Amino acid sequence: MNKKDIENCYERIRTRIQRTPLLHSDPLDSRLGKGHKIYLKCENFQITRSYKPRGALNALLKKPKVPVVTRSSGNFAQAVSWAGAQLDIPVTIVMPENVSSIKMEGTRKWGAEVVIAGTTYQEQYDKVDELLRQRGEGHSISAFNDLDVIEGQGTVALEVVEQMPAFRHFFAPVGGGGLMSGCATYLKETDPNYEVIGVEPEGAADFFQSRQQGKICRVENADTIADGLRSPSVGEINWPILNRYVDESMVVPDQAIIESMRYLFEEVGLVIEPSGATSLAALVAHPEWEPKGDMVFVLSGGNVDMKKFMVWMR
């Protein structure tokens, strides 16, 4: 996969997705910018309120038109359900017992069948395999460990460069690594001087550990409010891409994520889910970090239970 693949992907999906805004915030500059500007890539305004439809749609367009069975804790589930509805492809999503009600409702809204299975990734992957065997047709799509999905997620960075090419630092959350793999590829193959920074919660910092040890590490039973970043490890496809193109890995506590959500709500009027605010939490958690230029932060989603959100905002 390379920059040209991502550009071809964008031509394939651009008429069906939203071109999300890149917002500048003077209040955030004053609070966190240290003399540089802060820009927010607002994927909460994407269809299904996260960046995930980019990769889901590209994958369904490129793969055989057969039923899809996959697992997801929420945002990818909604994206695949939406993409299946656009292309008239039946979709079944395996979700964990502790899935957010708003994400389950969002998945069912687009017509997907939802199957609940356990609380661990492995239990859900086993259920996917079982359903595929029982039905005798279809295939599964990974939310991150799939080149077609990665191409789609890389279009986030493509839009950023088109909207404002003159920035220095690019921050995005890392869960399984689909978003960051695509974005880092596009950015580094456009201009190696872009500095790419991946951000994870302390309770799910498998990529940070992987970078330190030089191999894929797993964090079982991740403990963080950022439910979209609880993947036990980055994907095998993602790992070499991330290792090649990501300049720095940062880890943030949940409290910094909550504080970032509060800043975004109070200063910009945005309702962002914990996973979506994790990129900005890097500045909150690491005041010692010094930017060398303007910064872009991917707000990866806005699917959050409003009762929990208002508790966090107190």
Query: Rounded to whole angstroms, how far apart are CA atoms 225 and 117?
Result: 20
Q: Which residues contact 232 (CB under 8 A, 6 or more apart)?
A: 121, 206, 218, 219, 220, 222
pLDDT at 226: 96
Which of 106-120, 150-164, 293-307 has the least mean pLDDT? Answer: 106-120
Comparing 99 with 130, the larger pLDDT belongs to 130
Residue range(s) defining the domain that contains residue 73: 64-135
Beta-strand pair 38-42/22-24 = antiparallel
Active-site residue (options: 41, 52, 103, 188): 52
* Number of domains into which the chain is organized: 2
Q: Both 42 and 75 in a single domain?
A: no
In a domain, 54, yes or no: no
State residue 28's pLDDT score.
96
Asked whether residue 69 falls in the same domain as residue 164, the answer is no
What was the pLDDT predicted at 196? 98
Q: Among the options 100, 231, 279, 300, which is catalytic?
A: 300
Q: Does residue 102 register a pLDDT over 90?
A: no
286 band by pLDDT with thresholds 50, 70 and 90: very high
Q: Is 25 assigned a catalytic role?
A: no
Answer whether 209's CB lies under 8 Å from 219's CB: yes
User: Over pLDDT 90: what percentage of the chain?
Assistant: 93
Residue 56 located in a structural domain: no
Based on the fold, state whether residues 71 and 31 are members of the same structural domain: no
Q: What is the pTM of this model?
A: 0.95
213 sits in which H/E element: helix 206-213
Say whether both 33 and 103 belong to one domain: no
* For residues 246-271, average pLDDT: 98
140 belongs to a structural domain: no
User: Per-residue pLDDT for 115 more than 90?
Assistant: yes
Instruction: Give 187-228 pLDDT, tens digit per residue.
Output: 999 999 999 999 999 999 999 999 999 999 999 889 999 999
Residue 130's pLDDT band, with cuts at 50, 70 and 90, is very high
Q: What is the pLDDT of residues 17-69, one digit of tens each?
A: 999 999 999 999 999 999 999 999 999 999 999 999 999 999 999 999 999 99
- Residue 49 sits at the vertex; the CA angle it makes with 23 and 92, to the nearest 5 degrees, is 155
pLDDT (average), residues 9-14: 98
300 is annotated as an active-site residue: yes
What's 112's domain CATH number? Answer: 3.40.50.1100
How far apart (Å, rounded) are the C-alpha atoms in residues 294 and 309?
A: 29
Same domain, residue pair 187 and 73:
no
> Which of 104, 135, 166 delimits the end of a domain?
135
